[in-house]
Amino acid sequence: MTTRTPDKSVSCDGKVPFDTFTQANQVCKRKSKGKRDLCRMPYRCAHCHQWHVGTRSRKMTQADLLPVDAKQRAASVLVSGEQRKAAGQALVLENESKEWVDRFTFLAKCYLASLPEGALFAIEDLRSYCDTCGLPEPHSHKVWGSLPRVLMKAGLPMVMTDQNRKAHSPRTHAHRVSLYRKTGA
Ligand SMILES: [Zn+2]
């Protein structure tokens, strides 16, 4: 099996490397003249392991990211607990800003690009990567529950597995967390 690291030509070649998040972030801020520009953001490169300044794709809209019938499902009574949970998560997500979700999705792409094909990961791993990239916490921690579906819907190369592991993060108190597998792009 060949382990190819995808998108080197896009995500690394010709990009200015920075040693730290702070340096790359300063460039983002300067380019947007002090105004916070969410279309430009630093990411840790999977290829050279330095920081680059990325431009987020404008193609995705929040409508694409949300389960279409989330509202109807949330409104309907007597659905299964699992469905109710999913619908509730979708509603919480709907209240999260589009900029945050776009930024998160962008970082998730960078994170996945850094994993070899077939690698297992938990959402908390992605979450700590986002932490290191300076992504603020969403307005509600419940948002995290709906994000895997957002990513799969956005076409990121990942699938859910039936495996789980004990969470590493102290905030989850060693609950079991689901594992996802990176697939071929
Ligand atoms: Zn690079």
pTM: 0.61
The strand order across the sheet containing 158-166 reads 120-122, 176-182, 158-166
For 41, phi then psi, to 5°, come to -150, 150
Please tell me the predicted confidence (pLDDT) of residue 27: 84
Give the Å distance between the CA of 98 and the centre of ligand 1. 27
Q: 102: which 2 tokens? A: 């776009």
Q: Residue 141 C-alpha to ligand 1 middle, in angstroms?
A: 31
Closest residue by Cα to residue 49 from 110, 122, 134: 110
* Ligand 1 centroid – CA 50 distance (Å): 6
Residues of the chain with pLDDT under 50: 1-6, 34, 36-37, 59-66, 68, 71, 73-78
Give the residue extent of every domain in the chain: 7-55, 59-182
Which residues neighbour ligand 1 (ion) by CB within 5 Å? 12, 45, 47-48
Please write the tens of the pLDDT for every residue from 143-182. Answer: 888 899 999 999 999 999 999 999 988 776 778 999 999 9
User: Which pLDDT belongs to residue 106?
Assistant: 93
pLDDT at residue 38 in the model: 53
Longest pairwise C-alpha distance within the chain: 55
User: Can you give the pLDDT at residue 127?
Assistant: 93
Give the separation between CA 6 and CA 105, rounded to whole angstroms.
Answer: 17
